[in-house]
Amino acid sequence: MAAHNLVIVESPAKAKTINKYLGPDYIVVASFGHVRDLPAKNGSVDPENGFAMQWELGERSSKPLGEILSNAKKVDTIYLATDPDREGEAISWHITEYLKEKNIAEKVSIKRVAFNEITKAAVQEAFKNARDVDKNLVDAYLARRALDYLVGFTLSPVLWRKLPGSRSAGRVQSVALRLICEREAEIEVFNPEEYWSIEALLATKEGKAFTSRLSSLDGKKIEKMTINNQAVADTAVGRIRGEGRPNDKGQAYKVATIDKRQVKRNPYPPFITSTLQQEASRKLRFGATKTMRTAQSLYEGADIGGETVGLITYMRTDGITLSGEAIAAARKFIENKFGDKYLPESPRAYKSKVKNAQEAHEAIRPTDIFRTPESVAKYLNEDEAKLYELIWKRRSPSTSSTMTARSFFTRRALLSLSTAF
């Protein structure tokens, strides 16, 4: 039986996963990213003519577009299932324009579907709510692409003349370079000041070692710049050791006061693209490219027990909101694993601090909170398992938001002791 529907996605991996959810009446093919771009020559964007833009097919677009065109002639409906962001919307628009040029668009129904996670339920729900291509998102893409072109073609020739060997300038890196240069200028005029801190390696009665910092001298609190040269530091150390006094073996150390208090810690908000990259760099030593490549793999899906499912939601997002279903699943997980005692009365609500954030998408989260890192690790490679665990732990609340452990307060007391002279 011939298929009546064509689904166009961006990557072959995504095509393979979605194909399993839709059945034999759907053909799923990949566009392999963008299919058209502006030619690298003058006149591709014309500011004097309403910023008219000239497009050409990409170098690697012939084969995927040939497959799309061949299948488009056989079906009744075409579903554009590219990524749910501005770039994905732009790819859908480019494909639609290409099909118009080939006189295919008027013969078939073209619909846009978008989903933030590649799971069977999410994909099927998206197909039930198919829509038209979002012209506002396309216009945003066109404005950004025109700026890329106009800024690059204006600045790059100047750069080549002034700095032979330079490659190009652009809308983003030119501004970033200015910020770096201004910061470097501030560093160059900075006047460094010397300061010292004094620490002692001590131990509790039980023999547990810890480091304590000198916090007061002669009854006065030590500020950052109090000990401002080696001579002052050596004098302080000598007094602590009892040097110069034959019968003095050094000062005695004791806990002067114990400060007990409850410390409440709120969990961090769910990951957005930038915070995921930062944490992956800090904790996993992943570069930004590696983080996004690994996240893309988790998003597109892994074979878990014979079923291919996406493990995380879409990883390019500024939004820190979560769906009602995800929040309900997290609360159920807390209740099952930790009990009612640790279940908040109401879900936490986070607000983005990012100016002009594009919050159309959810934060980055596991598609199923009950898929723990331990349960899926055997289906993933090492990098995927590490990143999934990072995302899962960020998504999952800690067992307690209050720290009252005695060892914590004792350590704080010891670290804040002062030596009397």
Question: Is 314 one of the annotated active-site residues of the chain?
Answer: yes
75, 24 in Cβ contact below 8 A?
no
SS3 letters for the chain? Answer: CCCCEEEEECCHHHHHHHHHHHCCCEEEEECCCCCEECCCCCCCEEHHHCCEECCEECCCCHHHHHHHHHHHCCCCEEEECCCCCHHHHHHHHHHHHHHHHCCCHHHCEEEECCCCCCCHHHHHHHHHCCECCCHHHHHHHHHHHHHHHHHHHHHHHHHHHHCCCCCCCCCCHHHHHHHHHHHHHHHHCCCCCCCCCCEEEEECCCCCEEEEECCEECCEECCCCCCCCHHHHHHHHHHHHCCCCCCCCCCCCCCCCCCCCCEECCCCCCECHHHHHHHHHHHHCCCHHHHHHHHHHHHHCEEECCEEECCECCCCCCCCCCCHHHHHHHHHHHHHHHCHHHCCCCCCCCCCCCCCCCCCCCCECECCCCCCHHHHHHHCCHHHHHHHHHHHHHHCCCCCCEECCHHHHHHHHHHCCCCCC
117, 313 in Cβ contact below 8 A?
yes
Catalytic residue among 21, 314, 379, 388: 314
Contacts of 403 (CB under 8 A, 6+ apart): 262, 263, 265
301, 13 in Cβ contact below 8 A?
yes
Report the catalytic residues: 314
